[in-house]
Every structure is written in structure tokens, then in C-alpha cells.
Chains A and B, each alone.
Chain A
Amino acid sequence: MTESAPAYADPELSPSAMHRLHPLTPFLRSWRMLGAAVAIGFGFFKDDLERLKYFWDALRGDAELSVLLRAAVVLFVVAAVLVAGAWMSWRATGFAIVDDTDGPGTLRFHRGLVVRQRSQVRLNRVQSVEVNQPLFARLLGLAVLRLDMAAGDDASVSLAYLSLKDAWSVREEILRHTANAPELGVVVGDRTDDELIARVSTTRLVQANLLDSVGVLSFFALWVVALVVMRILGSGDVVLAGLSGIVPVTIAILVQLRKQVASILRDADFGLYRTRTGIRISAGLTSTVNRTIDTDRIQGVRLEEPFLWRRLGWARVEVDVAGAADSTQAARLMPVADRPAALALVRSVTGVDLDAGDVRRAGERARSLDPLGWRYLGVVLHEHGAVSMHGRWRRTRIYVPYARTQSVSVRQGVLQRRLGLASAYLDMPKGTGSWHASHRDVAEATDLVAELAARARAHRLALSRAGPAASAAAQPEAGRGLG
């Protein structure tokens, strides 16, 4: 929760008394603008600059030199103004971590030259902490420290830029204040203590990516083959007609390739570490991300097995955390792993074995509504959460802890009504979870809704009665698993 408090005026906490961001920040912040200024300047003085080849002549002739000088001066002034502006805003920026005597620590973040912004972040509300290095910052050895809050993007705070070393030490300081650190009575956050759980080799990542998108790729191949065959069999007109599709298909191929490359770059060098209170994900080739998540904050886990991965016994694990910035990035807990390892990973963060438990499958009647996937629709109710299974080609299991569910709903369309079926849903803080129990018998759905609501209530009460301090007690397995 970022609370802006206009009345807040702590005399000793002027920005100058607080921690500063890294001095190179103004340059990094304004490099885009600088680039734009250079581009504009170049466009403006293009003709003049073309005379550069007469530079030596210009040195002798005063007229030419003055033009060059003018260009240089204008560029310099623009750059100076931009950097000065950025520098002043840097001067007005500062942050401090304040230890409240009677509660959790607070991060105060002051920024803004014209419009002053004062953010106070209660550190026990932080959902996840990231130390990220975007490409350009990385070249300078700088990093961004990002705090994700439950309220979403607007409430999240990014401290950009800090030196990498400072970013890590601030992260450690912050982790010391997160929800369940104090009662564990440990010094958390020192990343050298983190235990490596898993790594993903780049070869495997590339293979997995290709296999996952093999459907799209083979479609492209088919299209090419079809073109060639048409060329051999048919007349030129047919080929021409086929070729007229070349622009959209090429665009589609490029988009797909870009997605693949981005995904590989993002997940390359993937490492998963266990910290005292949660997990840390470290990944990225060009830009690196280091994301620390308290196990307590996990809103849902998804285990995915795309069609071609199943042969190889591979699976992917994603987690939902409230307020995560970029859903694709945030979600990836394990881009690819052997299924048993993936299951073990899920067990260690949630305490649940996704394969265990007695599966309540959707009945035969679901066949007419979901002819391909009906066999794979299922629900398992565990002690602390529920699992939803679905997907014919991309087999998916979604686990959500009862304690995090918001509301329960049930829907029945016209066809379902005719068949005496209904679908139940658990509404999670993040809409991506899509936990559903589709096409259940109405009587069963009625029981399911009642049961889910009752269990959610029991776990919510347990969680709130004990307060955040005992959230570990609400999820005992999780606590043990991370011991």
C-alpha cells in the first residue's frame, strides 16, 4: 500500500538526509531523451553536417566553421538542459527505511521536483522484491530495485537506479521486514545463504521452447510445402494467389520468432534458489531479473504440460503473486523441468502434491460440451487448497490455497442446463488463475460451491485470527518444506 500523506512532514527526513540513488541515474534516465535530441539535432543540421567532408576546408574558411559550431552548441545546450533537469530531479529523490518502534518497517520514498511524491511502503505488505538489471543499466553495473505491492502496478515502487551492491543490500534490509521473517528469528536476505534448488540449461530451454511452439512452426512449414506443391501442380495464378498471403504469414512468423527469442532471453540462465522465507528466481540473458517471493504470498500455482513435452516427461511451473508487474515474467517459476522435479518444486512452495488426492472427474455428460477435453476435467480438494485439472493438449493443473480465494461463483449456460450441469469457479486476486471446475453435475456443483465456500472461510479465519504472524501455521507444510 503506497500511502501518500500530504500532512507528513518529518523534518529530519529531507531527501538530502536520505539515501540517494546512484549518481549515474540522471544520465540513464535521460539517455532516451538525449538520443532523441541528437536525432532531432541531426535532422535539423543534416545539410550542415554533410559539409563535414569539407571539414578541413571549413577549418580554413570561417563561414563553414560557424555552422558546425552552431550545431555543436545547440546540441550541447540541449544535452546540458536535459541532464541538468534529470540531475535536479535526482537531487530531490531519496529513500529511507525506517524502523517503526511498534510495528513493521516502512520504506519512505521521496521523489518529484515539480510534483512532489511521498510514498510510504509498509514493508510487511510487500509481495515480492526484485533486483533487476535492464540491459543499459547492466552495462553500467546498475540495478533497479522493485517492490511489488498487492494493489498492483500503480502502488509498486521502483528504486532506479542503484549500484548492484547497494540494490542487494537494500533488498536484504527489506526482506528483514517482510511478513514472516521476524518470528522465524533468522537473519534473512543474505543471498549467499540461498540454496540453489534448480538450474535450467540453455539447450533444454531452447528445445522446450521449440517443442512448445511446434504446432505453429509446423503450420508455417506446411504453408511453404503447400506453396511449392502448388507451384509444381498448378498454374502460376494459383501460386500468385498463395503468395498474396505472404505478408500476413511473414508477419506471423516474425511475431512468433520474436516471442520465442524473447522468451528464451528472459528465461536463459535460469536459477531457482531457496531463501529462508521463500524463493528467489534469477534469470535473463541481456536483462537480468532477481525476484524474491515469500512463499506466503503465493496465490496460485500452475503446472503445465504441453502436448509434445509429455513424451519427454517435461513440465512447466508458474506462480501467481498479487501485484506482479509483468504477468509473463512474474509467473515463471520453472520454465522447464522433469515432471517429478516440477512436482517436488510445487510441493516445496505449497506443500501440496499435485498428483495425490482423489480426483473428482467430470461425468460422461460433459462429453457433448467438451468432446476432446472432458476426460481431463477434474478437481481435487486438498487440505489447504484445491486443484483444478483441464486441457487435452496442454494438460494443466492449477492449485490455489483456500486462504487466498476471494469469492466462489457458479455458472450454468443453456446447454449445461439441459444436461443438468454447471461450472464452479474460484475467484482469485489475480484474474489469471482461472481455477474452474467445468461441467459438473448440478447436485455435485451445489456441494462443491458449499464446500469451497466453507473451506475458504475456515482458512481465512485461521489466517486472520492468528494474524500474519501465524500464516506459517496456516500452511504448515509450506513452512516445513522451506525449513
Chain B
Amino acid sequence: MSDAAGDRLFADPDLDWQPVSPALVTERRLPVAVLALLGLGLVGGGGGAAMAADSGAGWPLAVPGLLLLALAALLWWVLVPRVVSAWRYAEREQDLLVSRGRMQRRLSVVPYGRMQVIEVSANPVSRHLGIATVTLVTASAATDARIPGLPTEVAQRLRDRLAAKGEAAAAGL
């Protein structure tokens, strides 16, 4: 269902929206794929063992489990690119906008003057893929401004830019 007003709210076409790196798709897919394979192996192995033990009486029980697991993993595999492509940010003069989510859409408007900490983090997988996550922390725990999947040098440049802007606009609590 297309709704122009909603698109305008969460992705204002007048702004210069920056996407996150497609490498994030891989980063998000990887753990689930590994888990799914592991689960398939376990369930399959268990079923096989049951079959070997007593003429396969336990084997049919494993089938729905296997199917469900495979289906969930497949669904995740298919959905991840959509979620990743919905994740974007835009730098305005006074604040940073982070928009994300397909099902539940969110938009955070974080003023530069309110940023207390800018965090760049990367786990081993994302390091291998050359991407990092930039997190903005304000005094509010409710602020949810995270930009994952930025190429490392983009993330660093963004951090420096944000830090400079934050310093210029810093305000007390």
C-alpha cells in the first residue's frame, strides 16, 4: 500500500538521504544462516540417529521442525534486504535524522546539541566486511539513533562531522 504522506514523513524526498551499505545484508544474514544450519544439522542428525536406532519411528516427528526452521531462515533471508534498504539517515543543519523499519517505521530526530557520546563500533563479522555501526547517545535512554552498516571510513567521517557539529551546538542538560 503506497501512502504518500507516510513516505513523506519517514523519507522526506527533499532531504539528502544516505543509505547504509548492502554489506549489512550479509552481516545480518550470517548469524541466522549459521544458526539455521546448526539447527538443521541437529534436528536432521537427531532424526537420522532415531531412524538408525529403531526403524525410523522418531523420524516423522522431526520433519515439521525441520520445515519450520528452514522456512523461518528463508523468510529472514528474504526480508533482510528490505529491512536494510529501509535504513537511512540524513544530516540536516541542526539535527540528524535516522529512519528505519519496514513493518514498524521509525524516525528519530536527534539535535547535534544533544549528542553526548558518538560511538563507532564493529563486531568481528562487520569488521571483516569493512562496515561499522555509529550510535548517537543523548541524555535520554529513549533516544534510538543507531546507524549500522556504514563503510568504515564513512563511519569515521560521519563521527568526526557529528562531533564537530555537536561541539558547536552543545547545550547543557
Q: Which residues of A contact B (CB under 8 A)?
A: 150, 322, 404, 406-414, 417-418, 420, 422, 425, 427-431, 442-443, 445-446, 449, 453, 456-457, 460-461, 463-464, 468
Chain B 1-30, CB within 8 Å of chain A: the 1/0 string?
Answer: 101011011100000000000000000000
CA distance A192 to B6 in the complex (A): 57
- A150, A410, A427: the one contacting B107 at CB < 8 Å is A410
Residue of A413, A427, A443, A468 with most chain B CB atoms under a 10 A cut-off:
A427
B113 touches A460 (CB 8 A): yes
A409 contact set on B, CB distance < 8 A: 106-109, 142-144
B95 contact set on A, CB distance < 8 A: 453, 457
B141 touches A407 (CB 8 A): no
Q: Which chain A residue shows the least CB distance to B9?
A: A446
Does residue B170 face the partner (Cβ distance < 8 Å to A)? yes
B139 contact set on A, CB distance < 8 A: 150, 322, 406, 429
Does residue B171 face the partner (Cβ distance < 8 Å to A)? yes
Residue of A150, A409, A429, A449 with most chain B CB atoms under a 10 A cut-off:
A409
A selection of 17 A-B contacts at a CB cut-off of 8 Å is A150-B173, A406-B110, A406-B138, A407-B110, A407-B111, A409-B107, A412-B6, A413-B103, A429-B139, A446-B8, A456-B111, A460-B113, A460-B171, A461-B171, A463-B171, A464-B113, A468-B172
**Cβ-closest 8 pairs across A and B:** A406-B140, A464-B171, A427-B140, A427-B142, A406-B138, A429-B139, A442-B5, A408-B109
CA distance A170 to B128 in the complex (A): 57
A407 touches B109 (CB 8 A): yes
A429 contact set on B, CB distance < 8 A: 139-140, 173
Q: A411-B105, A431-B140, A456-B111 are known contacts; what are 14 more A-B pairs with Cβ within 8 Å?
A: A406-B110, A406-B114, A409-B109, A410-B10, A412-B10, A412-B105, A412-B106, A417-B6, A427-B138, A430-B140, A442-B3, A442-B9, A453-B94, A464-B113
A420 contact set on B, CB distance < 8 A: 3, 5-6
Q: Which chain B residue shows the least CB distance to A410?
A: B107
Q: Which chain B residue shows the least CB distance to A323?
A: B173
A457 touches B111 (CB 8 A): yes
CA distance A420 to B8 in the complex (A): 12
- A407, A442, A463, A464: the one contacting B143 at CB < 8 Å is A407
B1 contact set on A, CB distance < 8 A: 417-418
Smallest CB separation, B10 vs chain A (Å): 7
Smallest CB separation, A31 vs chain B (Å): 36
Chain B 134-148, CB within 8 Å of chain A: the 1/0 string?
Answer: 000011111111000
Q: Which chain B residue shows the least CB distance to A299?
A: B173
Contact of A422 with B111 at beta-carbon distance under 8 Å, contacts A413-B104, A464-B171 already known: no
B173 touches A322 (CB 8 A): yes
A422 contact set on B, CB distance < 8 A: 6, 9
- A407, A417, A431: the one contacting B108 at CB < 8 Å is A407
A443 touches B5 (CB 8 A): yes
Smallest CB separation, A20 vs chain B (Å): 33
Smallest CB separation, A198 vs chain B (Å): 28
B9 contact set on A, CB distance < 8 A: 410, 412, 422, 442, 445-446, 449
Q: Which residues of B contact A (CB under 8 A)?
A: 1, 3, 5-6, 8-10, 94-95, 103-111, 113-114, 138-145, 170-173
CA distance A456 to B5 in the complex (A): 24
Q: Which chain B residue shows the least CB distance to A445?
A: B9
Smallest CB separation, A240 vs chain B (Å): 38
- B103, B138, B142, B172: the one contacting A463 at CB < 8 Å is B172
Q: Which chain B residue shows the least CB distance to A462?
A: B171
Contact of A404 with B170 at beta-carbon distance under 8 Å, contacts A412-B105, A427-B142 already known: no
Smallest CB separation, B161 vs chain A (Å): 18
B170 touches A464 (CB 8 A): yes
A468 contact set on B, CB distance < 8 A: 172
B114 contact set on A, CB distance < 8 A: 406-407, 460
B105 contact set on A, CB distance < 8 A: 411-412, 417
Smallest CB separation, B171 vs chain A (Å): 4
Smallest CB separation, A134 vs chain B (Å): 29
B5 touches A464 (CB 8 A): no
CA distance A446 to B110 in the complex (A): 15
Q: Which chain A residue shows the least CB distance to B138?
A: A406
CA distance A145 to B145 in the complex (A): 37
Q: Which chain B residue shows the least CB distance to A442?
A: B5
CA distance A322 to B111 in the complex (A): 19
Residue of B3, B6, B142, B145 with most chain A CB atoms under a 10 A cut-off:
B142
A412 touches B140 (CB 8 A): no
A449 touches B171 (CB 8 A): no
CA distance A460 to B144 in the complex (A): 20
A443 contact set on B, CB distance < 8 A: 5
A404 touches B173 (CB 8 A): yes
Smallest CB separation, B12 vs chain A (Å): 8
CA distance A167 to B139 in the complex (A): 30
A460 contact set on B, CB distance < 8 A: 111, 113-114, 171
A150 contact set on B, CB distance < 8 A: 139, 173
A418 contact set on B, CB distance < 8 A: 1
Smallest CB separation, B58 vs chain A (Å): 37
Residue of B6, B108, B173 with most chain A CB atoms under a 10 A cut-off:
B173
CA distance A456 to B1 in the complex (A): 33
A457 contact set on B, CB distance < 8 A: 94-95, 111, 113
B94 contact set on A, CB distance < 8 A: 453, 457
Q: Which chain A residue shows the least CB distance to B107?
A: A410
B140 contact set on A, CB distance < 8 A: 406-407, 427-431
Smallest CB separation, B166 vs chain A (Å): 12
Q: Which chain B residue shows the least CB distance to A467?
A: B172
B141 touches A431 (CB 8 A): yes
Smallest CB separation, B118 vs chain A (Å): 14
CA distance A414 to B139 in the complex (A): 30
B141 contact set on A, CB distance < 8 A: 431
